[in-house]
Structure 1
Amino acid sequence: MDSNLLKVFVSVANKKSISKAANSLKYAQSNVTSRIKQLEKNLECKLFHRVPSGVILTHEGERLYPHAVDIIKKIELATLDMKDMLKQEQLIVASTESNAVTRIVNFLINIHNEFPDIQLELITNTTGEIKKMIMDYKVDMAFVSGVPQENELLVLNKVDEELVLVEPFEEVVPNVFLSFKKGCAYSDFAQDYLFELTQVEHKKLEFGSYDTILGCVKAGMGKSILPLSIVKKLRFEDEVKILKLNKKAWDMPTCLVCRKDNIPKIADYLKELAL
């Protein structure tokens, strides 16, 4: 199977558009179309449906996609090994917003100072979305909340977090849980924990920043469960009531992980780095 055809296929699938994929690949649109047709002919199946907004994968295309991504990545890794590249040239790092708030800047500065030739790129998202990205080889390593259970992932380093319940100073606190957006590991844990603690269902409100969550807690809108490091970093430790959680109830360190088949060349340095 021609890996160049697979690269075109993956690009079209990611962009959901032949024209956008052509621009990304710097190919003529007709060239991309002909390569997709060639791949479909080789596989004897249709890979895309045409829709008003562009294209979407057929059932057969969805089955091919993970195999194509895996093949392309393995060819890239094999090429790097054959060229005997002894140094890391690029690192795409993903991080949860909570980790980005508290420690990502120092982490990136340390890598830049130690390895000034490495090109760094940072992506932030929730733990759920980040795991998808690293499993699909879209990032080289990532900070996630909690020890990952996926067999494909390797923990390079970790730091323990202290989770706390934050509430307004008012005597009566609404049964409202202020949460980071869907996919946040802390939010998923916190709703179950709050129910066990109070036996009361809490209304959930989602926000896109921890600063907003803490500001709303201070204003009396509800409560939240967050790492203490975030509360201190955003200077809310004197603005809200802080209750420490029973350590036995949770185990959610921040872990720096990578795929076992795509370990960064600076892994030994990362394992010893103080986070």
Structure 2
Amino acid sequence: MELRHLVTFEKVAAVLSFTRAAAELKYAQSSVTGQIRSLETSLGVELFERLGSRIRLTEAGERLLPYARRIIELNEEARAAVAGAEEPAGTIAVGTMESLTSYRLPPLLELFHHRHPKVRLTLRPTLGDATRQALLDGTYDIGFLMERETEHPGLESEVLAPEPLVLVAGPGHPLAGRAGLTSADLAAAPLVGTEPGCPYRDLFEEELREWAPPFMEFGTIEATKKAVAGGLGLALLPRITVSEELASGALTALDWEVPFTLFTQIAWRRGKQLPGHVRLFVEQARRLVREQSGSPEA
């Protein structure tokens, strides 16, 4: 077995597409197909079932995958150890959600772009369940989560900061300025939200299920904010995402106590040996997010 064949196998297994794997590895598709066939020949088994335009791992492929990942990780660890003090280099696949990518991570992304140009960050937009599964599958190296729970099966996770939430409305909304709002007080108010699967939207919907009508879904945070500012309804959002609008008066915060707490976290697969450039990314994420949020060091 050649290492490059295992790298190609792991990528195809992660994305379940020869075409996408070729694009991410910067190979011709014929090279990816040839490497997989060479690996299958050397092992004497088929690793993928071809189902028309789709593929899936065979039982043999499922058994090989964790070994391939361990070999790749050990290779990266060995390179990092030998390189010693050389400039950090390598690729990091990062799973994250819109609110964190746009409002929490820019300082981290800028730091790596300017100080560590040989580290290539690949950001994958996914929500909690999908991010956790991709970490377990090895598709992502690192994941950022915004969750109520802080322990996740099969993952190492670290809380970076609590993530304050705020219920916002347009400045002319009838509930603006009212003190001590309860969940029942929101019964007649139209609600605006991001997509299902977003943790704060799902928890808000669950809290108001007894009283509230269905959400109007606007997908992105920016679209949701504009809908709220235009008087289409209320929305629960991370405070960091609406700080400018609250300061300018484009949105107003309602006096409703959020009955749950979410935490921004960084996570990776339990037992995974993080290469040096990934450990550096975790360290800088820990420092910068905590500085930004005002959270004390753990």
Q: What range describes the TM-score normalised by the shorter chain of this pair?
A: 0.7 to 0.9
SS of the counterpart of 2:208? helix
Normalised by the length of structure 1, the TM-score is: 0.75
Against the structure 1 CA distance between its residues 16 and 145, is the aligned structure 2 distance closer, same or farther, given a 3 Å change threshold?
closer
| Partners of 1:134 and 1:142 within 8 A in 2 | yes
SS of the counterpart of 2:249? coil
| Partners of 1:161 and 1:252 within 8 A in 2 | yes
Q: Deviations over 1:188-216 (max 9, x none)?
A: 21111222xxx224313333321110111
Residue equivalent to 1:143: 144
Residue equivalent to 1:166: 168
Q: Which of 185, 204, 222 does residue 190 from structure 1 map onto?
A: 204
Residue equivalent to 2:56: 57
SS of the counterpart of 1:191? helix
Distance 1:30 1:245 in 2: 58
Alpha-carbon deviation of 1:82? 5.0
Residue equivalent to 1:217: 228
SS of the counterpart of 2:163? coil
Normalised by the length of structure 2, the TM-score is: 0.70
Against the structure 1 CA distance between its residues 126 and 65, is the aligned structure 2 distance closer, same or farther, given a 3 Å change threshold?
farther
Alpha-carbon deviation of 1:271? 3.7
Q: Deviations over 1:60-111 (max 9, x none)?
A: 3773475266335434334335534445324634432112232322233345
Alpha-carbon deviation of 1:16? 4.5
Structure 1 counterpart of 2:151, one-letter code? Q
Aligned pairs, number: 268
| Partners of 1:156 and 1:270 within 8 A in 2 | no
SS of the counterpart of 1:83? helix
Distance 1:122 1:244 in 2: 39
Against the structure 1 CA distance between its residues 226 and 16, is the aligned structure 2 distance closer, same or farther, given a 3 Å change threshold?
same
Distance 2:47 2:118 in 1: 41
In structure 1, stretches of 5+ residues that fail to align are: none
Distance 1:190 1:104 in 2: 24
Distance 1:150 1:138 in 2: 17
**1:253 equivalenced with 2:263 (yes/no):** yes
Q: Deviations over 1:24-76 (max 9, x none)?
A: 4636727725743752783645621230xx33115537734752663354343
Distance 1:187 1:43 in 2: 49
**1:179 equivalenced with 2:185 (yes/no):** no
1:126-141 matches, within 5 Å, as: 126-141=127-142
Distance 1:149 1:67 in 2: 23
In structure 2, stretches of 5+ residues that fail to align are: 176-185, 293-298
1:234-253 matches, within 5 Å, as: 234=245, 238-246=249-257, 249-253=259-263
Alpha-carbon deviation of 1:225? 1.0
Structure 2 counterpart of 1:171, one-letter code? P
Alpha-carbon deviation of 1:230? 1.0
Distance 2:269 2:153 in 1: 9
Structure 1 counterpart of 2:201, one-letter code? S
Alpha-carbon deviation of 1:186? 1.4
Distance 1:57 1:241 in 2: 50
Distance 1:30 1:120 in 2: 23
1:264-275 matches, within 5 Å, as: 264-266=278-280, 267-273=282-288, 274-275=291-292
Structure 2 counterpart of 1:143, one-letter code? F
